[in-house]
Amino acid sequence: MYRSSPVPDDSSAGRDTNWVLHRPSAAATMAPCLKIARGWLMPEPSPQQPPTDTSDLILAVAGQDRAAFAELFKRFAPRIKTMLMRGGLDAARAEEIAQEALLTIWRKAGKFDPAGASASAWIYTIARNLRIDAARRDQRRSRLLEAVGREPLDTEISAIDSVSSAETGSRVRNAMRTLSLEQFQVVTLSFLEGKAHPDIAESLGLPLGTVKSRLRLAMTHLRKSLEDLA
Amino acid sequence: MTQTHHPLDDTLIAFASGTLDEARHFVIAAHLHSCAKCRQTVAMLHEVGGALLESANPAELSVGALDRALAKIEPQVKDNQQRSAGVSDTATSLDETLLQDLLSAPGKGPWNWVAPGVHVRSLLRPAGKGARVFLLKAAPGLGLPNHTHTGTELTLVLQGAFSHAAGRFSPGDLDDADETDEHTPLVEPGQSCICLVAMDGQLKLRGLLGLVMQPFVRI
């Protein structure tokens, strides 16, 4: 793996998801979150030496480099699968969409602007759009309006141009460390598991207002550290 | 255009993480079109998503997953080039094309009369549960019934302006009202006020226009 993370490879991610789904107590939902938090809170192995920067890989993929695609696939397909499974998809569906995400990366690599969003943020939005699409497809099966093959609505988000994307990534990770565990938890549930705020409230057994105020507090912290990005 | 009223932070988080329903997602996307400040915030939140994705534990893929992807990538590129010509006009629902239309010509109908001085153009009415999206056109100087928000309404001004206790809302401003807010909106004289609204149609409608909206529900 490209990152010599202190978190061991965990092939039981699928079982974790089920566990959370079937036992939606606060403790159960907190567990995978703690696992991630450990990755965040522990000092990073230094110096970190990823073999190739992710954004360089995407640029190579834009030039039809299949080896670079294979490397991107190895880095991100398993993580996108995790993200989708944590959002409640079964393993087969999650893998199907992770495949789709990587194929989308192949097709859209030419649009990636290394001066803009960081590579991982760009990939995140692709995976997120596919997740939205999948959810809507399910929802729409019974509906008359079936828009075939259209792009998900996504305003082009402008570049964060003051800082390089590699620097952005590490600054964001540092900023995330300033969050309390409670704030980190609701942010993770929202971004990684794709849970709507009322669902987060339900799975944590908290009032919706509490979830919202934790998210707003998290934003206050993130803004403070990343002021020039927001 | 500089806005003074923006989505609440938790709404932007839900937008950036893709967890807003389609109706609200559409209205927030419309706000972002004119609001550089919120676009920057969303960009920052995408970075948060990217960092979390990178830190996720990798799941095990099925045997041959990479080979299957590699087998697909070349045909897909060709496919993409062929399709790119006519892909944009398949739109039949809430999408970028509709959004551009609404932003450039908000007054274009068709409008349905729902009450004196009030017209509505429905854009999305989910069959089951879920928020609906519509345009609402209120006549200049119209005072709207006092109402409280159920916490399930987003209102983006596209044309004209209205005011209530929280301030003045002009084009690009978004009213992301909290359930605790109580408002008596007043449309400014001079021009009709056209708003893009996402709101839950399930419960008793007490959102923007409360009483006035009841006939709309029966349409």
Asked if B91 lies within 8 A of A120 by C-beta distance, the reply is: no
Joined together, the tokens standing for residue A32 give 């995978």
8 Å CB contact of B56 and A192: yes
The answer to the question of residue A228 being in a domain is: no
Structure-token match 């696992």, residue found: A35
Total structural domains within chain A: 1
Overall domain count for chain B: 1
CA pair distance A125, A93, nearest whole angstrom: 18
Q: Is residue A4 part of a domain?
A: no
> Which residue of A82, A99, A129 is in closest CB contact with B69?
A99
Residue A99's domain is classified under what CATH number?
A: 1.10.1740.10
| Minimum distance, in Å, between the CA of residue A59 and any CA atom of chain B | 16
CATH number for the domain harbouring residue B107: 2.60.120.10
Interface of A with B in 94-133 (CB under 8 A): 94-95, 98-99, 102-103, 106-107, 117-125, 127-129, 131-132
Tens place of pLDDT per residue across chain A (230 aa) = 344 444 444 444 333 333 333 333 444 455 555 555 545 544 444 454 546 889 999 999 999 999 999 999 999 999 999 999 988 889 999 999 999 999 999 999 999 998 888 999 999 999 999 998 888 777 655 343 333 333 444 444 444 444 455 677 778 888 888 888 888 889 888 988 888 899 999 988 999 999 999 999 999 988 888 877 65
Residue A212 lies in a domain: no
Q: Which domain holds residue A154?
A: 51-162
Residues of B in contact with A206 (CB under 8 A): none
Q: Which two tokens stand for residue A140?
A: 């729409």
* Residue A208 CB-density burial (10 A; 0-12 exposed, 13-18 middle, 19+ buried): middle
Element (H, E) at A189: helix A181-191
Tell me which of B25, B44, B70 to substitute to probe the interface with A (most A C-beta atoms closer than 10 Å): B44
Task: Report if residue A110 sits inside a domain.
Answer: yes
SS3 A57: helix
Is residue A98 in some structural domain? Answer: yes
Nearest to A81 by CA among A31, A16, A26: A16
Please report whether residue A157 resides in a domain.
yes
Residue A202 lies in a domain: no
Q: Give the pTM.
A: 0.75
Of all residues in chain B, the one with the smallest CA distance to A119 is B50
Q: Find the domain containing B169 and state its range.
A: 1-219
Q: Looking at the domain assignment, is residue A65 inside a domain?
A: yes
Q: How far is A221 from chain B (nearest CA, A)?
A: 12
**What ipTM was estimated for this complex?**
0.78
Q: Does B34 touch chain A (CB under 8 A)?
A: no
- Interchain contact B50–A (C-beta under 8 A): yes
* Closest to B23 (Cα-Cα) out of B119, B96, B124: B124
